[in-house]
Amino acid sequence: MSTPTTTIVPFASLPSCAINCGPLYDANGFCVPPNAAAADETTYDQCFCAYGTLQGLKSDPPSDVCNGACVGDSAGYTSIRDWFTSMCNEVATKTADASATTSTSSSGGSSGDSSGSSSGGSQDWLSTHWRWVVMLIIVTVGIIAIWLGACVWRRKYLKKKDRMYELGKHGAAHGSVTGPMAPGSGATLPYGDGVNSVLSNGTASVPPRAAVRGAGGQQGSFMNPTMYDEKAVGTRNRSNR
């Protein structure tokens, strides 16, 4: 039988009867190389504490695991039992702490991976759709600019329309809208029918460019305004007879 490379049991610090306790040697040889795979000290200790023959040391009252090796030395057997129980409790605490640390690390890694995946996915979406985002911004700005331009133009148009309306009312109130100029006078005449309109001095108004056709339908020369007025008065006199 090959010699174990690691000694779990501290025989030097235990009572002398521990040297004659065969199950302690059996558990030590079973849990360390060359019988077991190379591992850390905690793994060896876990295997030693779980060894079947030594479980009697945890019972109450404890069973005689050493098969009478400590008969007559009950204090020595109690020391072996106390050492085994204390060591296995420490191993259990280390195992629990290691499991909690591993669980926390795994949870943190999963959260980091998840958040990294989320941010990466968001970044990937933006990198593949940035053209649409730019186009949407341009269209929005264009619509706002057109709306503002239309508001400004409408305001100017209404202001100009109101100004023209006020100018028209002012001109009508002061008689600025006039008709054609009477020949030879400095007064303006209101528009009339060209023949029957009468001036304020009692004379008939003369239409612009009033011409008389001569014989044969030929265009004649412009009549003298005085002659035209006399002819118009004579015509009215004949019609009144």
Residues 140-195: tens digit of each pLDDT: 999 999 999 999 999 999 988 888 888 887 776 665 444 444 455 444 444 444 44
pLDDT recorded at residue 150 = 93
Among the candidates 114, 138, 153, a domain finishes at 114
User: What's the pLDDT at 163?
Assistant: 86
Boundaries of domain holding 184? 180-241
As separate numbers, helices (DSSP H) first and strands (DSSP E) second, the chain gives 4, 2
Q: Minimal CA–CA distance to 180: which of 199, 158, 164, 163?
A: 199
Rounded Cα distance, 82 and 13, in Å: 13
For residues 26 and 101, membership in a common domain is answered with: yes
> How many whole angstroms separate alpha carbon 78 and alpha carbon 80?
5
Amino acid identity of 36? A
Do 187 and 106 share a domain, yes or no? no
pLDDT at residue 67, as a whole number: 84
Q: Answer whether residue 172 is part of any domain.
A: no
The pLDDT value recorded for residue 99 is 77
Structural domain contains residue 155: no
Q: Are residues 109 and 184 in the same domain?
A: no
For residue 202, pLDDT over 70 is answered with no
Reply yes or no on whether the pLDDT at 37 is more than 50.
yes
- pLDDT cut 90: percent of the chain above it: 30
171 falls within a domain = no
- List the single range of 20-29, 104-113, 196-205 with lowest mean pLDDT: 196-205
Q: How many domains does the chain have?
A: 2
Range among 111-120, 161-170, 218-227 rated most confident: 161-170
Secondary structure, 3-state, 75-126:
HHHHHHHHHHHHHHHHHHHHHHHHHHHHHHHHHHHHHHHHHHHHHHHHHHHH
Amino acid 110: pLDDT: 55
Please check whether residues 106 and 21 belong to one and the same domain: yes
| 32 domain residue, yes or no | yes
Residues facing 188 on adjacent strands = 181
Which of 114, 132, 158 delimits the end of a domain? Answer: 114
In this prediction, residue 231 carries a pLDDT of: 52
Specify the range with the lowest mean pLDDT, choosing from 78-82, 112-116, 164-168: 112-116
Q: Is residue 81 part of a domain?
A: yes
As a whole number of angstroms, the distance between CA 151 and CA 65 comes to: 102
Same domain for 22 and 98: yes
pLDDT band at 100 (very low <50, low <70, confident <90, very high): confident
Residues 6+ apart with CB under 8 A from 70: 15, 17, 18, 20, 21, 76, 77, 80
| Tokens of residue 141, six digits | 């700005």
Whether 128 is in a domain gets the answer: no
Residues 6+ apart with CB under 8 A from 133: 126
pLDDT-derived band at 199, boundaries 50, 70, 90: very low
pLDDT at position 90, please? Answer: 92
Q: CA angle 191-236-192, nearest 5°? A: 5
Q: Which of 51-65, 71-85, 96-110 has the lowest mean pLDDT?
A: 96-110
* 72 lies in some domain: yes
Other CB atoms within 10 Å distance of the CB of residue 153: 10
pLDDT of residue 80: 93
Per the domain annotation, does 168 fall within a domain?
Answer: no
Which of residues 92, 114, 136 is at a domain's end? 114
